[in-house]
Structures are given as structure tokens and as C-alpha cells.
A and B are shown apart, each in its own frame.
Chain A
Amino acid sequence: AQSVTQPDIHITVSEGASLELRCNYSYGATPYLFWYVQSPGQGLQLLLKYFSGDTLVQGIKGFEAEFKRSQSSFNLRKPSVHWSDAAEYFCAVGVIQGAQKLVFGQGTRLTINP
């Protein structure tokens, strides 16, 4: 069965520091991978997605993610975080079964220290 693991439930970083959020997936076919961000009390906003091609994907708000097939990973990175990046981040894999169903990880809550 398909699954997504985000090993870190909560991460705290200082403003201006670099960030890496981990995501590992389990899926037998070519994965379609996504990162979403959720601010408190809000819906989910798409940060970036990987379907094929270049394994380094650029997204909104200065985020990027790298797909590594050999490690079954799709880690999210940002070189310098801002206080406004505090939110919950979700990694998901898209499973094509009729429609494209998303299987989500448990989420990583990011706290920014001033």
C-alpha cells in the first residue's frame, strides 16, 4: 500500500536559518509528489509538485524540493526561513486509481524562533 512518512512531527529553527523537512514515500510506480503548507485555521496551499523531469523542483515562497528515487525521498528545503514560514507542512503522493488520490504524511509543524 502507498504511504508517506514525515519523520519530524515538530521542528524549530531560528529566523534566517536554513530548513530541510524530510519526506519518505512508499509507492510501486512512478510517484507524483507534492508539498502543501497550512497556516493556522487555513486550508492547504500547494508549495510545489513533482511529476517527472528535473528532480530539483522550485516552488513558491522560495521553497525547493529534491526527488531522490534511490532513497524514496522528496525533502523540502529553504535556504533562509522567515517568521511567516511558521506553519504545518504536508508531503503527499498522488495515486492514480480512476482519479488521482492523495496520500498524505502526518505533517511537520514548523516553529520559527526570532
Chain B
Amino acid sequence: DAGITQSPRHKVTETGTPVTLRCHQTENHRYMYWYRQDPGHGLRLIHYSYGVKDTDKGEVSDGYSVSRSKTEDFLLTLESATSSQTSVYFCAISSLTGNTDTQYFGPGTRLTVL
């Protein structure tokens, strides 16, 4: 286990409502990532963080925001959920050392937007 938890594990919500997903790590790793997994697309990077209050966009960031106020927590927010955001969301952590890095993944959150 890489010491990563995600909450909630499952959520059903309605279109237009705000949703926040939480990723918590106990490893004190600098880097944290949010990916979404959809059939036929593998995993795609939404946002990532390279330190407290330091975040940047990934490949599919539209409609998502993130925050990292402390090392151990990385929050993903859907300000106004849409059905296209129904997906499985994975958090990952890593500690980039030089140019080599390995990401370890959490258990995922299954989000359904009706």
C-alpha cells in the first residue's frame, strides 16, 4: 500500500451540483496527481501539484479545479458537475528524484452525475 486514501469511494450526484473529491497521503510526497479513467481512453491527467499551493493543469482540466493547502491533502472540485464528468477518478503520488519517478495510485472514486 502506498499510503493513499480517497474519499468518497462512490458518489452519485445531479447535474449542476458542486462536488469535491479528496486525496489523502501519509507518505509526505511532494507530487500529487488527479487522473480520470474512461473506457477506451485509459487514464488522463486532470491536474497535478508539485507542492503546497503549487498546482498546474493536465490534459483534461476544463471543468475542474484543485487545491492543496497542506502536503497530505489534494482536493479535486467539480464546480458544476456535468454528465460528461461521470468517471472513475484516481489520485496518485510520487517523489520525483532527479528525472526518475514512479507514481503510486489510490483506490479510486467512482462518480456518477445524473
A68 at the interface (CB under 8 A from B): no
Tell me the total A-B contact number using a CB cutoff of 8 A: 63
Which chain A residues numbered 83 to 97 have a C-beta less than 8 Å away from chain B? 90, 92, 94, 96
Interface size class of A (residues with CB under 8 A): 20 to 34
B-contacting 9-mer, from A14-22, A56-64, A69-77, A103-111: A103-111
Q: Collect the chain A residues with CB atoms within 8 Å of residue B82's CB.
A: none
Cα(A23)–Cα(B103), bound, Å: 19
Give chain B's interface secondary structure class: strand
Interface residues in chain A, defined as those with a beta carbon under 8 Å from any beta carbon in chain B: 4, 6, 32, 34, 36, 42-46, 49, 51, 90, 92, 94, 96, 98-107
Interface residues in chain B, defined as those with a beta carbon under 8 Å from any beta carbon in chain A: 31, 33, 35, 40-45, 48, 50, 56, 58, 90, 92, 94, 96, 99-108
